[in-house]
Amino acid sequence: MKITVQEDPSRAEAEVRITGPAPALAEILAALALVGETVAGRAGEELAAVPLSSVYYFETVDDRLFFYTARETYECPARLKAIEERLMSASLPFARISKTAIVNLRRMKSIRPEKNSRLVATLVNGEHLVVNRQFVKSIKEKLGV
């Protein structure tokens, strides 16, 4: 990949021009979409605005929404459906994998078939998540498999 940066102090805003094959463009656009996007969460007494790029997945447990990063677990005041709508409307690289979970596709290392037409997603931290069969087709499409 070739990257050229040209600073122009006379311009009021940045312009990004990307040329190349479609698969590479899609990957770059997905990464750019995450820049600056955050989600609010609470870890203990601490409230934080966590970059979406560091979120591994969102999960509902006992009617409470949590999201997980490499080092922390946060409770989120939003509902899973609201998070899903926000992520999908902004075309961010996340996908629903079950009725209770949404995964960051950028944090997914691999997927493998499981019995009962399900998949098991392995995240880059080694954690395994089950992709329920009703979400298998859409996650395969998002991954280009």
Task: Quote the pLDDT of residue 7.
Answer: 84
Per the structure, how many domains does the chain have? 1
For residue 128, being part of any structural domain is answered with yes
Query: In this predicted model, what pLDDT tens digit does every residue of 38-78 receive, in sequence order?
Result: 899 999 999 999 999 899 999 999 999 999 999 999 999 99
Domain of residue 105: give its range. 22-143
Q: How far is CA 84 from CA 3, 4, 58, in A?
A: 32, 34, 9
- β-strands 38-43, 46-51 pairing: antiparallel
For residue 44, being part of any structural domain is answered with yes
For residue 6, being part of any structural domain is answered with no
- The whole-chain average pLDDT of the chain stands at 88
For residue 13, being part of any structural domain is answered with no
Q: Assign 91 a pLDDT band (cuts: 50, 70, 90).
A: confident
For residue 62, being part of any structural domain is answered with yes
Average confidence (pLDDT) over 28-32: 69
More confident residue, 134 or 34: 134
The CATH number for 127's domain is 2.40.50.1020
